[in-house]
Amino acid sequence: MIGLSDLPLDVAAVCATVADDEHGGTAVFVGSTRAERDVRHVTALEYEAFATMAVAEMEHIASHVSRCHGARLAMVHRLGVVDVGEPAVVVAASAPHRAAAFEACRDAVDRLKADVPIWKRVHHADGTAAWA
């Protein structure tokens, strides 16, 4: 499962898509909106994407982790407003053994944050908002 979603993410449903009888380990990363109350209170993040290219880049990442780590990957990112505590992204990687699953998951998240054209706008408790 690779894609973008306007609706809340179902972590278990995303993980289920990488199930494989030959894969003994699944590593999951869930990125959620942080309140950052000690800095400047955040109430929500709002995500925008260059959707066609974002999905293509995510598919490239899935191909990469398959080739380099032997892993199956699921990656779904939210669009729109994501309230504090809600998942903004779910990345699940399954592989025959745990080391490859952890490495694939981390590699995929790092590549997502570097190369997938998605942007976030930070909404603060004082009513202001700014692109991050």
Partner 1 sequence: MTDGGITVEVLLFASLRERVGHSRVVVTVPAGATPGDLWARLGLPGTPPTGLRHAVDGHWVDPGAPMDDGAQVALITPVSGG
The residues that touch partner 1, with contacts defined as CB under 8 A, are: 31, 47-50, 52-54, 56, 77, 88-89, 109, 112-121, 131-132
Which C-beta is closer to partner 1: that of 23 or that of 78?
78
Match 């998605």 to its residue by tokens: 118
Nearer to partner 1, 49 or 81 (CB): 49
In the complex with partner 1, which residue's Cβ is closer, 59 or 70? Answer: 59
Q: Whose Cβ is closer to partner 1: residue 34's or residue 97's?
A: 34
Smallest separation (angstroms) from partner 1 to the CB of 125: 20
CB 97 to partner 1: min, Å: 26
For the bound state, the minimum distance from the C-beta of residue 110 to partner 1, rounded and expressed in Å, comes to 9
- CB of 130 vs partner 1, minimal distance in Å: 8
Contacts of 30 (CB under 8 A, 6+ apart): 11, 87, 89, 90
CB neighbours (10 Å) of residue 9? 20
Query: Are residues 95 and 101 in contact, defined by beta-carbon separation less than 8 angstroms?
Result: yes
Residue 110 three-state SS: helix
The helix (run of H) or strand (run of E) holding residue 47 is: strand 42-49
DSSP 85: T
